[in-house]
A and B are shown apart, each in its own frame.
Chain A
């Protein structure tokens, strides 16, 4: 009894010579594997971030940190604004309480700490 014919048989019959592998085959294979590995790192990183944000404790800490950062930046802006406005108001106050005061003296005084 003959076994059923395999479609591969005809192909194997046509394969007489094994071609020579291209030069640097192994390094090229490893290079491609490394490229695929690097590509798969990025989604893993995003997945980790997403996983962190799904944790309620992290989400609350993140919102609180944003709030604190906003307050800190506001405080920095306010400190600068207070210094500028303080000098201007000092000038106007000195001019109010002393009608004889000349402007140059007022400016010198306002710059004093």
Chain B
């Protein structure tokens, strides 16, 4: 009886250890930072170590610029909301100021588009044809936004 209980406990322990060990070693990244995103790309696109290293460098170089642009876009959206609020409450718009805002916004939009396109082009250049197809498929809405901005 003692032997049976021992084997049962050993089996349960082995199963539990195997389960937890494998689960925690293969668990996907928990945060949404750049490292996690790159790890996700590596798995999703089946990148080799060399490709991954190059793509990582490309993203690390572009990331600060893109984050700064994102902050600028958010600020401009707030500015636009302020213009809209003023228009609806006071019924007046400072057209000169608004024209200046629109000009700034267009410049930021163009800069965003250029930065995104450069990043996508550089990253795609490192990939094989199948990887590139999959990557561009994942970027569907980004590319659509780009086309939309280009048309405007």
Assess whether B91 is interfacial by the CB under 8 Å rule: no
A110–chain B nearest beta-carbon distance, Å? 9
A106–chain B nearest beta-carbon distance, Å? 6
Q: State whether B15 touches A66 (Cβ < 8 A).
A: yes
Question: Which residues of chain A have C-beta atoms less than 8 A from B28's C-beta?
Answer: 78, 81-82, 85-86, 89
Interface class of chain B by DSSP? helix
Q: In the complex, A112 Cα to B44 Cα: how many Å?
A: 13
Interface size on A, residues (CB 8 A): 43
B47–chain A nearest beta-carbon distance, Å? 14
Contacts from A to B (Cβ < 8 Å): 49-50, 53-54, 59, 62-71, 73-75, 77-78, 81-82, 85-86, 88-90, 92-102, 105-106, 108-109, 112
Interface residues of B in 1-31 (CB under 8 A from A): 1, 3-4, 7-8, 10-12, 14-20, 22-23, 26-30
Question: Which residues of chain B have C-beta atoms less than 8 A from A86's C-beta?
Answer: 28, 40, 44
Q: State whether B37 touches A50 (Cβ < 8 A).
A: no
Question: Which residues of chain B have C-beta atoms less than 8 A from A92's C-beta?
Answer: 32, 36-37
Q: State whether A100 touches B3 (Cβ < 8 A).
A: no
* Nearest chain B residue, comparing its CB with the CB of A91: B32
Q: State whether A78 touches B23 (Cβ < 8 A).
A: yes
Question: Which residues of chain B have C-beta atoms less than 8 A from A99's C-beta?
Answer: 66, 69-70, 72-73, 112, 116
A82–chain B nearest beta-carbon distance, Å? 5
Question: Which residues of chain A have C-beta atoms less than 8 A from B116's C-beta?
Answer: 97-100
B122–chain A nearest beta-carbon distance, Å? 11
Beyond A59-B7, A78-B26, A86-B28, is A94–B19 a contact (Cβ under 8 Å)? no
B28–chain A nearest beta-carbon distance, Å? 4
Question: Which residues of chain B have C-beta atoms less than 8 A from A109's C-beta?
Answer: 138-142
